[in-house]
A = this chain, B = another copy of it.
């Protein structure tokens, strides 16, 4: 706690917090976590407002600052402010970083830039094109379903498994059709017209997904589909379907837009149910 090593700049403070956090008591760790995750709030807030946001007492914040070697909370807060104050310098830093990016031109950095770009592009395109009325309709269908059957294999499996996770947390009944052990038809066998199937598939459409969804549709199970073309076999089967075109980089398509749509659909459904 000697005042020799109390940092006056943010990066140093940040690493000090990381280093010390392990030895901190419970509440102080809580503050440390909050501080690292919400540095802006620390910079602008008052002791009371920050304390409330971090779910601790004001006195804990003061103790936190003091245990890092500062005289009081305000002194620590100044460091957080400095981070934003010389934003001009931060800008320079960013430019330097960007130069680093391109100078070293590490192959991995290029790959990352490529995929980040593809993700942004896909999101922007989806924003432009998505018909929100369809989203309303799909959310209505899902909200009224007894059980939601999630069908997405291979490349689409991360999407359906994410929806499964979210639906589970929200307390909505679902059935994740994973085709494990070739049991796809058994997993979907109990679906009725009161349920809804969410089918996710992209070129080349996994044949098992298509055949499963077809059978369900024949048994009058309403289908919501996420796919990448009006020519997709799912498009003609589904009552509502979304077209999501992901940009690709070096032949690998982004997933950002699809997963964002999946979350949106899930949460929109949960909100309807809440009423």
What is A's interface to B at a CB cutoff of 8 Å?
14, 18, 21-22, 29, 32-33, 36-37, 40, 43-44, 81, 84-89, 94, 97, 100-102, 104-109, 111-116, 119-120, 123-124, 126-128, 130, 132-133, 135-136, 138-139, 154-155, 157-159, 161-162, 165-166, 229-231, 236, 245, 249-250, 252, 254-256, 259-261, 263-265, 267-268, 271-272
Contacts and interface: CB of A to CB of B under 8 A. Distances in A.
A127 B116 contact: yes
A181 to B, nearest CB: 12
Contacts of A263: 115, 252, 254-255
5 contacts: A22-B236, A40-B86, A44-B81, A111-B264, A166-B252
A36 to B, nearest CB: 6
A107 B252 contact: no
Q: Which 10 A-B pairs have the closest CB atoms?
A: A109-B132, A158-B158, A108-B268, A158-B162, A256-B256, A105-B132, A108-B135, A112-B264, A18-B230, A111-B268
Nearest to A14: B230
Decide if the interface of chain A is mainly helix, strand, loop or mixed.
helix
Contact of A112 (B132, B229, B231): B132
Contacts of A113: 127
A272 B264 CA distance: 36
Given A40-B85, A106-B133, 11 more contacts: A33-B231, A104-B133, A107-B272, A113-B127, A119-B260, A155-B162, A158-B158, A158-B161, A252-B267, A255-B259, A259-B259
Output the residue of A87, A88, A119, A265 with the most chain B CB within 10 A: A119
Contacts of A14: 230
Contact of A132 (B22, B101, B119): B101
Output the residue of A14, A124, A132 with the most chain B CB within 10 A: A132
